[in-house]
Amino acid sequence: MDASFFYTTDSREEFAKRMHVQQPAGAICHSAPLCIPFPYQRRSVRAEPVMDLLRYTRIPFRPRFYYGWAMAPIGMLSVMCTAPAQTFGIAVFLPYIRADLGLTPAQTATAYMIGTLLASLPLTGIGACMDRYGPRLTMTVIILCFSGACLLISQAVGLFSLLLAFLFLRMFGQGALTMMGANTLAYWFHRRLGIMHGFKSMGVAVTIAVAPALHYFLIRQFGWRTAYIGLGLSIACLLLPLMFFVYRSRPESVGQTLDQEPVIGSRKAPEESVPDQSWTFRTVLRTRAYWIFAGGAALWALVSTAAAFCSGSIFETRGLTATEAAALVSRMFAAMGATLFVAHVASGWLADRYPLRRLLSIALCVVATVGLLLGMPNSENHVYLIGIAMGLSQALMTAVSATVWVRYFGRAALGRIRGSTFTLLVAASSLGPFMVDGMAALTGDYTRVLFALALLPLPLAVAALWATPPSPPSS
């Protein structure tokens, strides 16, 4: 294959003309190779075949359809492939891991908490790599690391090696690859981003229903170690060819525009624009809206994870046996899954048409309702209400988080913005269950703890009404 397919030594003006990319005002066009319109300038651009293959490669034809429709299934598939690193996927393996390594439930729970907490710390840096090197190269490296983490956990021999495996699984799977799948949609869709996120999340809901049964089948047939090896290799074989031959980082790389709209006079989303030329990560951190939306996502993760993790223990303290409590928990999650399947599309539709600050306020009120319902006496019908509330809160919050950052702050620093919020979210999800269990142990009662938990989101729900899109700073 001709090396010019991988990189070009055209002048920046020639490359832009050949790609039919309109240079915006303020574009930086010097004589160095590769014309990358501002704000996609890198500090240095070199004609290196390996790097350019994954950073700047364009497909060898001009697609007759909007290429975002080909990218959306890849974003959904990448998130679905994180199942071996998600709590619902790992939970199936835990009994077999404990029996094989001779560990107690408390030891594996502690290793999981520490691994998840440490996994949240590098996500901002991973997002910065995406901004610097592009989504395609960064995502390829993450897939390789995630597949390697699946192989690593299959070789665990004790508590410390299991903790390291949890760390890398949660970092590259639950954190980084999930973030990259969401960012893929944000780079290709703006006006329809909410509804596209809704369809992606329907695939996630199907994964929640199917992946545990698949993991259980593989474990029964081949053992838990071989099952993880097979999952890791399958993920690499499925996603890596897509990265090399199908995936493209941005619409500009195939001569198209965001949402395939004209550059001038394009229709904007309900209350947001695309201020790519203005926002840097430092200026984003100075805005009120960033901290309100990031804090809301962290509170949702804390409450919802605590509710899911501690629900069985809560039911047992009310006179139920372990079997009866497990039956109620399964019904609760069944109601949650059914709600998510419908609510994800509905919440995505709402995110495209209504102010995101109002949806955040509603989502936080529903999160408070989860804690309130858990604190009340429970029956079979009651746990269905809990599951519905958990599903609604997750659907609304994920729709808001998937759309707000690119609509409020543009794409220039999207990787670092999402990475920082994922750090807060993953850290909060690791702390929530232990905060609730610890406070219940001190007070001797879950009820007061759950009512206090229900009050946490309410002040932020009120503050969310003032989380309007900030004015772009002067260049």
Task: Please tell me whether residues 402 and 329 are part of one structural domain.
Answer: yes
Asked whether residue 123 is assigned to any structural domain, the reply reads yes
The per-residue pLDDT for 260 is 67
Task: Please tell me whether residues 242 and 273 are part of one structural domain.
Answer: no
CA-to-CA distance for 300 and 296, rounded, in angstroms?
A: 6
Q: How many Cβ atoms sit within 10 Å of the Cβ of residue 158?
A: 10
User: What confidence category does residue 63 fall into, taking pLDDT thresholds of 50, 70 and 90?
Assistant: confident
Range from 41-55, 222-236, 309-323, 404-418 carrying the lowest mean pLDDT: 41-55
Task: Please tell me whether residues 219 and 130 are part of one structural domain.
Answer: yes
Task: Please tell me whether residues 135 and 234 are part of one structural domain.
Answer: yes
Task: Please tell me whether residues 22 and 99 are part of one structural domain.
Answer: no
Top pLDDT among 30 and 456 is at 456
The per-residue pLDDT for 263 is 42
Using CA atoms of 256, 261, 266, 272 in order, give the dihedral in degrees to the nearest 10.
Answer: -80
CB 381, CB 372: distance < 8 Å: no
User: What confidence category does residue 379 fall into, taking pLDDT thresholds of 50, 70 and 90?
Assistant: low
Task: Please tell me whether residues 302 and 404 are part of one structural domain.
Answer: yes
Select from 196, 221, 250 the last residue of a domain. Answer: 250
Task: Please tell me whether residues 318 and 232 are part of one structural domain.
Answer: no
Select from 206, 222, 250 the last residue of a domain. Answer: 250
- pLDDT over threshold 90, residue 431: no
Top pLDDT among 447 and 278 is at 447
The per-residue pLDDT for 360 is 94
Q: Give the count of alpha carbons within 13 A of 446, CB side only.
A: 23
Residue 121 DSSP symbol: T
CA-to-CA distance for 395 and 172, rounded, in angstroms?
A: 23
- pLDDT over threshold 50, residue 31: no
Task: Please tell me whether residues 237 and 300 are part of one structural domain.
Answer: no
The string of pLDDT tens digits covering residues 67-77 is 888 888 998 89
**CATH number of the CATH domain containing 138:** 1.20.1250.20
Residues of the domain holding 406: 268-475
User: What confidence category does residue 323 fall into, taking pLDDT thresholds of 50, 70 and 90?
Assistant: low
Top pLDDT among 98 and 77 is at 77
User: What confidence category does residue 162 fall into, taking pLDDT thresholds of 50, 70 and 90?
Assistant: very high
CA distances from 414 to 124, 129, 427 (A): 10, 11, 20
CA-to-CA distance for 398 and 416, rounded, in angstroms?
A: 18
Task: Please tell me whether residues 387 and 452 are part of one structural domain.
Answer: yes
Q: How many domains does one find in the chain?
A: 3
Name the residue among 286, 275, 253, 325 with its Cα closest to residue 70. 253
- pLDDT over threshold 80, residue 259: no
Residue 2 amino acid letter: D
Task: Please tell me whether residues 470 and 429 are part of one structural domain.
Answer: yes
User: What confidence category does residue 26 fall into, taking pLDDT thresholds of 50, 70 and 90?
Assistant: very low
- Taking phi over 0 as left and psi of -120 to 50 as alpha, with beta for the rest, 11 belongs to beta
Average pLDDT over residues 88-109: 81
Select from 29, 53, 77 the last residue of a domain. Answer: 53
Range from 167-176, 232-241, 312-321, 395-404 carrying the lowest mean pLDDT: 312-321
Using CA atoms of 59, 279, 127, 16 in order, give the dihedral in degrees to the nearest 10.
Answer: 20
The per-residue pLDDT for 140 is 94
Average pLDDT over residues 154-166: 92
Would you state the structure tokens that stand for residue 400, as one six-digit string? 């808001």
Percent of the chain past pLDDT 90, that is, above it, reads 22
CA-to-CA distance for 434 and 449, rounded, in angstroms?
A: 12
Asked whether residue 372 is assigned to any structural domain, the reply reads yes
- The H helix count followed by the E strand count for the chain is 19, 0
pTM recorded for the entire structure: 0.67
Task: Please tell me whether residues 47 and 79 are part of one structural domain.
Answer: no
User: Is 194 in a helix, a strand, or coil?
Assistant: helix
Task: Please tell me whether residues 308 and 450 are part of one structural domain.
Answer: yes
Average pLDDT over residues 42-57: 42
